[in-house]
Amino acid sequence: MSKPKRTAKSKPAGRKGRQRDAAGKKAKPAATHANSKQAAVLALLNQPHGTTIAAIMKVTGWQQHSVRGFFAGVVRKKLKFELESEKTDGERRYRIIGSKAANPNVLDEERRAG
């Protein structure tokens, strides 16, 4: 006995999008772990004089375009931090400015609230 052929219109039932919890809301992402690469990069960016892309590449093992993507996607868009970039002595340095960046626990509290 052979299996019946499916028509082009029929698709197997599956989940669309992210998994949702019992209330129907989107599941929230986990908080940043203290020993994660994200936490390490944020610590470097929180230094008074900031850091360079090369230093972040060395710590994380990421490529240059990945670091810049992290700045745009995570630091600026997801975490809503203000990232300052300045070029001194031919070297571009990045740092997070503002009061939110000084306390890493603010990040966890904002994620829970929002």
Count of residues making up the chain: 114
Q: Which amino acid is at 41?
A: V
Q: How far apart are CA 55 and CA 58, in angstroms?
A: 5
Model confidence pLDDT, tens digit, residues 7-59: 666 666 666 655 555 555 555 554 668 899 999 999 999 999 999 999 999 99
Across the chain, mean pLDDT equals 80
Q: Domain 37-113: which CATH class?
A: mainly alpha
Amino acid identity at 35: N
**Tokens 């203290």 found at:** 34
Q: What is the pTM of this model?
A: 0.61
- Show me where the domains of the chain are located: 37-113
Of 81, 113, 84, which is closest to residue 100 (Cα–Cα)?
Answer: 81
